[in-house]
Amino acid sequence: MSKFIKGTLILLIAGFITRILGFVNRIVLARFVGEEGVGLFMMASPTLFLVIAITQIGLPVAISKFVAEATAEKDSYKVKAVLAVSLTVTLVLSLIFTPILVLGAKFLSEHLFTDSRVYYPLLAMAPIIPITAVSAVLRGYFQGKQDMNPFAISQVLEQVVRILLIAFLTKQFLPYGIEYATAGAVAAAVIGELVSSLYLLTRFKFKKKFKLRKSFFHSVLNNRQTFSDLMSVAIPTTGSRMIGSIAWFLEPIVVAQSLAIAGLSVAAATKSYGELTGYALPLLTLPSFITVSLGTSLIPAISEAYAHNKIRIVEYKLYQSLRFTFLSGVISLVIIYVLADPLMLLMYGNSNSAHYIRSLAPYFLFFFYQGPLQAAMQAMNMATAAMVNSFIGALVKTVLILALATRPEFGIHGVSIALGVGTVLVTVLHFISISRKIHIPFYWREYIVTGIIMCLTGYTGHLLFQRVFINFGLISNLLLTMTVMLLLFLIFLMLTGVLNKTEVEKIPIVGKPLAWLMLTR
């Protein structure tokens, strides 16, 4: 098994476990603080991610790329130089911007957000910035080595720690108010990230074959070329991420102000934003652990192939990733679309946000494509194009929010439309950019046949839930319906030849038993 496939499988398994654990965290948070508390959490989060994007300046991607190349050349000195320079840059930036966030939290909460209660979650988030600075560098190192185990385990470990703490801390602070309870949930996230970083640091200490502390400052001061090389990839990369982070930072501000213009009260706007971004979007993005895993593995794999001018390998890896993204995304979104109401009811005790899921689900197939496409662009030194595409998408999204959410007849639904349009636009622009550099095979038959299978699977799932398994209880009904839908989808793909026998056999657990159903050899 190649490093690419092995690394992707490891990240897929860890990503799935992490997402499920993340949902447990969100469910606990929602049960304790409700839509308003989730809204406060989601309003504060973009500010944190903007500061993290500034402090990391795209270095994880650059580290992954250059460590992969240096490892291929067996140049351990270059690996050490990359790590020394990266750690210095991220730590210095985090020490600058952490106090800025703390000092600016009051201004942000009172003047930019319409809900001043955001102040306490913002303060609680500040300690996580220097912690992520270290973990980002270590994550880039392990990804460059195509050793996904440490990163995968650290993700799971972080979520486990959060689960152990979130209920306790939220409950302890709840008597003081929702804003304090939300801050307690943030504190649980900070501690989880700290434990995750300590684990990565421990694994790095035992895995590395050089002494990083030895001549550390010499490595920093005498490697201007390494600094320039890192920045040549990191700055365009962070430009793309920065645009997304700035757009996300502005989003709750623009949404809150727009909904106020539309006539919603502060509490109602916070609640609506919490339902959309804290309840609906996490479920819609749940399958993205697949594309994130593919994208993470693609960067070092394509970087190495592209550095040696093996364009056919680059094209093949990207095509396989996009194909897997499409098939996994289709079945995931069909299940989520058909079972939106019972899923929301099971997780959060109400189905108020199910209509957001149904309106946004068609757009999110395009969202899943962005992980592999952007990873390929970064690996092929197209980070500037990715940045421009992200800027155009963010600009269109923000303009649409202002145009639609300010109108009472649209309100928060205008926000969901803007999110969907921005997502589709960025994905289409990424496709166009990559197509100008390499050939991406596009087989219409596969897409048309899969579309028909999607409709059949969705209709069957609806009938199963509403009529066949209706007397089994909510949880049993959901599990049975989802299992049958998944199996039907796979069987239809096999019978129509969309999946070949070799691909089916690679499916974990059920692959080999299902392979005998194949009509093609």
Domain of residue 43, residue span: 3-442
Q: Are residues 482 and 503 in the same domain?
A: yes
Q: Give the single-character DSSP code of 174.
A: G
Token pair of 482 as six digits: 């989802």
Separation between Cα atoms, residue 14 and residue 28, nearest integer Å: 21
Q: Are residues 340 and 453 in the same domain?
A: no
Q: Are residues 312 and 450 in the same domain?
A: no
Q: Are residues 85 and 189 in the same domain?
A: yes
Q: Are residues 207 and 143 in the same domain?
A: yes
Place of tokens 């365009």: 236
Separation between Cα atoms, residue 521 and residue 519, nearest integer Å: 7
- The confidence score (pLDDT) of residue 484 equals 92
Dump strand ranges (E) for 132-193: none
Choosing from 408, 442, 476, the residue where a domain stops is: 442
Give the model confidence (pLDDT) of 75-120 as tens digits.
677 777 778 788 888 888 888 888 988 888 888 887 777 678 888 8
Query: Which whole number is the average pLDDT over 116-142?
Result: 85
Q: Give burial (CB, 10 Å; 0-12/13-18/19+) of 313.
A: middle
> Taking Cα atoms as reference points, which of 94, 373, 90, 85 lies closest to residue 229?
85
Separation between Cα atoms, residue 401 and residue 477, nearest integer Å: 38
Q: Are residues 476 and 518 in the same domain?
A: yes
Give the model confidence (pLDDT) of 221-238 as tens digits.
566 777 777 777 777 667
- The confidence score (pLDDT) of residue 458 equals 92
Banded model confidence at residue 291, pLDDT cuts 50, 70, 90: low
Residue 520, pLDDT above cutoff 70: no
Choosing from 389, 414, 442, the residue where a domain stops is: 442
386-424 CB burial, b ≥16 within 10 A, e <16: bbbbbbebbebbbebbbebbbeeebbbbbbbbbbbbbbb
Separation between Cα atoms, residue 248 and residue 47, nearest integer Å: 8
Q: Are residues 450 and 305 in the same domain?
A: no
Choosing from 442, 457, 482, the residue where a domain stops is: 442
Residue 294, pLDDT above cutoff 70: no
Q: Are residues 516 and 449 in the same domain?
A: yes
Query: Is the Cβ–Cβ distance between 128 and 189 less than 8 Å?
Result: yes
Separation between Cα atoms, residue 519 and residue 308, nearest integer Å: 39
Q: Which residues contact 392 (CB under 8 A, 6 or more apart)?
A: 425, 426, 429
CA of 380: how far to CAs of 159, 221, 267, 346, 438, in Å? 33, 29, 46, 44, 10
Banded model confidence at residue 49, pLDDT cuts 50, 70, 90: confident
Give the model confidence (pLDDT) of 50-71 as tens digits.
888 888 777 777 787 777 777 7
Q: Which residues contact 203 (CB under 8 A, 6 or more apart)?
A: 142, 150
Q: Are residues 516 and 438 in the same domain?
A: no
Which amino acid is located at 13 in the chain?
I
Q: Which residues contact 155 (CB under 8 A, 6 or more apart)?
A: 14, 15, 18, 196
Q: How many C-alpha atoms does 268 have within 13 Å on its Cβ side?
A: 10
Query: Is the Cβ–Cβ distance between 154 and 135 less than 8 Å?
Result: yes
Q: Give the chain's domain count.
A: 2
Pick from 217-226, 270-279, 420-429, 507-516: least confident:
507-516
Q: Are residues 48 and 125 in the same domain?
A: yes
Q: Are residues 471 and 359 in the same domain?
A: no
Other Cβ atoms less than 10 A from the Cβ of 431: the count is: 17
Average pLDDT value over all residues in the chain: 80
Q: Is the pTM of this model over 0.75?
A: no
69-105 CB burial, b ≥16 within 10 A, e <16: bbbeeeeeebbbbbbbbbbbbbeebbeebbeebeeeb
What percent of the residues of the chain are helix, what percent strand, and what percent coil, each to the nearest 5?
85, 0, 15
Q: Are residues 373 and 280 in the same domain?
A: yes
Is residue 58 helix, strand or coil? Answer: coil
Separation between Cα atoms, residue 427 and residue 368, nearest integer Å: 9
Token pair of 121 as six digits: 């979650």
Separation between Cα atoms, residue 277 and residue 263, nearest integer Å: 20
Separation between Cα atoms, residue 56 and residue 76, nearest integer Å: 23
